[in-house]
Amino acid sequence: MNWTDVNPDEQSGALFDEVLKPLAIGKREAGVEPYFVSGPDATVGSYFVPPKVMSMTPADFEFPGAGGAEGLINALVAHWAAEGESVLATMAPRLNRIAGALSQAAAHDDGGVDIFCYTLF
């Protein structure tokens, strides 16, 4: 199958179904800490945490992947690898295929986000 012939949304959906969903269920069953907590905690005095970037160094200004999709994905994979998330890093080829398909469909995309996609705020 030529991956670029497949609708990018279908590819993203397949990535979710075939990789993210089993991974999420597996992590949950193994009792792995979630990436974020879902509710209040009466035992802590504050919910503040230190910012990931506290002040800007020259390196912080460098655009991840120099503004292209492949570079962005490579930067993300490196970020995950540095965090010890090697399983996530294996998604790189599929993310690249989605980006490739989206780039072919770009003429139909106005850059806007579905108004109901609140996680992108």
Q: Which residues between 15 and 74 bind another protein (CB under 8 A)?
A: 15-17, 20-21, 23-25, 27, 34-42, 44-56, 58, 60-69, 72-73
The CA-atom distances, in angstroms, between 86 and each of 33, 90, 117 are 16, 7, 27
91 closest CA partner among 81, 103, 105: 81
- For residues 109 and 102, the answer to whether their CB atoms sit within 8 Å is yes
Q: Least Å distance between CB 68 and another protein?
A: 5
Please say which residue, 2 or 57, places its beta carbon nearer to another protein: 57
Q: Least Å distance between CB 29 and another protein?
A: 13
Question: Binders of another protein among 78-97, rule CB under 8 A?
Answer: 79-80, 88, 91, 95
The maximal CA–CA distance of the chain, rounded, in angstroms, is 55
Q: Least Å distance between CB 86 and another protein?
A: 14
Please say which residue, 2 or 119, places its beta carbon nearer to another protein: 119
